[in-house]
């Protein structure tokens, strides 16, 4: 079952070093797939799709048709469509609030500023296979819409057909092209372009370890949002927390993927024992029991520490994708939190609230990358271009310093570029 560890032991220290991105064998395979698609385009792309997804595609069938999308609407309920549209409204409102303001040089006394420009083509990757994730369509596409991206394309695995909800979500968000592609081969096609797949300026969206490592591999040929691999949740809880709530929230991530990591850090040995019992009981009732059980046993842990403050320190080391604060006065703990994809405050802000409805994005950095990556947002799809707008008078005041700095580096042409404007 789940490991119960004690802070300060060698076993806990080893667990804290864990990374879900260190798979040498998978990385080698991903490199091979990416190189193949880059060099041979559609031919190898369709070969890999048949091999991995068990479907045959060609240039005429790789895209989802408008007829398929029209038909998808008839396969979902009005209640689901209504719920999706409410979530869409919340996401757009949130993204508009957080999009950084645009400044121009004109009127700025310092003579500097910046302007924002969206990328021209954004690709979103939406997982498929074991489960359908229409919520990921909304979470990836709508920030791009708010950013002003002109063309949004999408790739999603289609073994067994693309889920109708995923297709409806794509149309609701204004996605212009949908490709029936998944895995590392889809990422490579979006990064480099093929005869049938448009090249993107940036690829955003979560995926399995193959997708994540492929994004890492193609970075530079295009931009990426982050490394969003197998899901993880870390819960900091005190002794008064509800063990059932915690167990349920841990399993909400464990059912995603066998590589997912559900973690509890607490200062209460009693709570740790109760959560372990609740996990065992709830696991037996899960339809995705086999996946969740392997996630819990292989990657899960309950860590018992001396204090909630120390729990926050351990959380910062792991830098979790999702962090729940199930403690009294959770907002008081925020000053101690430095690394997390998203923070959920209190027992009535469960992780699925962020997954589906609150408006905050659920595409988040994993595997410790929350130390330097942020949640997907409209900013992800925007470039900040510097603006410099000096007058002759302003440059005159700065010229001697600029010339001195240029000449100290031996760059006399740089210095002359300023001197010549003043008769030098």
For 193-208, the pLDDT digits (tens) are 999 999 999 999 998 8
Cα distance between residue 364 and residue 366, in whole Å: 6
Same CATH fold assignment for domains 3-19+230-358 and 24-224 = yes
Spatial contact of 238 and 268, defined as CB atoms under 8 Å apart: yes
Cα distance between residue 409 and residue 96, in whole Å: 44
Burial of residue 251 (CB within 10 Å: 0-12, 13-18, 19+) is buried
Quick check: 106 pLDDT over 70? no
Of the residues 255, 322, 347, 362, which is catalytic? 322
The pLDDT value given to residue 104: 73
For 108-133, the pLDDT digits (tens) are 677 888 899 999 999 999 998 656 78
Q: Which CATH superfamily is domain 3-19+230-358 in?
A: Nitrogenase molybdenum iron protein domain (3.40.50.1980)
Quick check: 60 pLDDT over 70? yes
Enclosing H/E stretch for 9: none
The pLDDT value given to residue 20: 65
| CATH 3.40.50.1980 at 24-224, yes or no | yes
For 40-59, the pLDDT digits (tens) are 999 999 999 999 999 999 99
Of the residues 255, 278, 321, 347, which is catalytic? 321
| Average predicted confidence (pLDDT) for the chain | 94
The alpha carbon of 104 is separated from its chain's Cα centroid by a whole number of angstroms, namely 30
Q: Say whether 256 is catalytic.
A: no
Q: Say whether 321 is catalytic.
A: yes
Per-residue pLDDT averaged across 20-38, rounded?
A: 90
Question: For the chain, which residues make up each domain, given as ranges?
Answer: 3-19+230-358, 24-224, 391-422
Ranges assigned E (strand) in 359-412 = 382-388
Q: Which of 348, 337, 354, 332 is nearest to 265 (CA)?
A: 337
Q: Could you tell me the end-to-end alpha-carbon distance of the chain, in angstroms, rounded to an integer?
A: 78
342-345 sheet: strands from edge to edge = 3-6, 301-304, 261-266, 232-237, 322-326, 342-345
- CA distances to 3, 6, 58, 294 from 301, rounded to whole Å, are 5, 10, 45, 12
Residue with tokens 């300023």: 418
């Amino acid at each position: 079952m789940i490991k119960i560890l004690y802070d300060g032991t060698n076993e806990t220290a080893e667990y804290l070093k864990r990374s879900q991105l260190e798979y040498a064998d998978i990385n080698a395979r991903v490199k091979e797939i990416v190189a193949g698609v880059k060099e041979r385009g559609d031919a190898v792309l369709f070969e890999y799709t048949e091999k991995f997804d068990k479907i045959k595609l060609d240039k005429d069938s790789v895209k989802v048709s408008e007829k398929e999308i029209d038909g998808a609407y008839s396969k979902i309920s009005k209640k689901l469509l209504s719920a999706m549209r409410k979530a869409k409204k919340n996401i757009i409102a949130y993204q508009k609030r957080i999009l950084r303001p645009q400044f121009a040089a004109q009127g700025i006394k310092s003579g500097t500023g910046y302007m924002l420009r969206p990328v021209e083509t954004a690709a979103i990757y939406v997982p498929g296979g074991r489960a359908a994730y229409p919520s990921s369509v909304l979470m990836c596409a709508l920030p791009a819409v708010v950013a002003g991206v002109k063309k949004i394309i999408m790739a999603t695995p289609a073994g067994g057909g693309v889920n109708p909800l995923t297709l409806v979500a794509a149309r609701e968000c204004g996605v212009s092209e949908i490709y029936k592609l998944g895995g590392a081969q889809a990422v490579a096609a979006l990064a480099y372009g093929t005869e049938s797949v448009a090249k993107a300026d940036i690829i955003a969206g979560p995926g399995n370890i193959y997708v994540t490592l492929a994004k890492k591999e193609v970075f530079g040929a295009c931009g990426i949002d982050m490394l969003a691999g197998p899901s993880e949740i870390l819960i900091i809880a005190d002794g008064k927390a509800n063990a059932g709530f915690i167990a349920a929230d841990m399993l909400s991530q464990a059912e995603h993927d066998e590589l997912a990591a559900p973690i509890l850090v607490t200062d209460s040995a009693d709570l740790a024992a109760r959560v372990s019992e609740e996990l065992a009981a709830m696991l037996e009732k899960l339809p995705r029991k086999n996946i969740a059980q392997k996630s819990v046993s292989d990657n899960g842990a309950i860590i018992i520490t001396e204090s909630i403050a120390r729990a926050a320190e351990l959380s910062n080391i792991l830098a979790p994708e999702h962090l729940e604060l199930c403690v009294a006065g959770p907002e008081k703990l925020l000053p101690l939190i430095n690394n997390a994809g998203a923070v959920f405050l209190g027992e009535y802000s469960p992780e699925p609230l962020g997954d589906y409805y609150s408006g905050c994005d659920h595409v988040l950095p994993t595997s410790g990358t929350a130390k330097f990556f942020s949640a997907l947002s409209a900013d992800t799809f925007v470039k900040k271009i510097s603006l410099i707008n000096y007058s002759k008078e302003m440059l005159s005041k700065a010229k001697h310093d600029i010339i001195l700095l240029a000449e100290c580096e031996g760059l006399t042409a740089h210095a002359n570029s300023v001197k010549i404007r003043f008769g030098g």
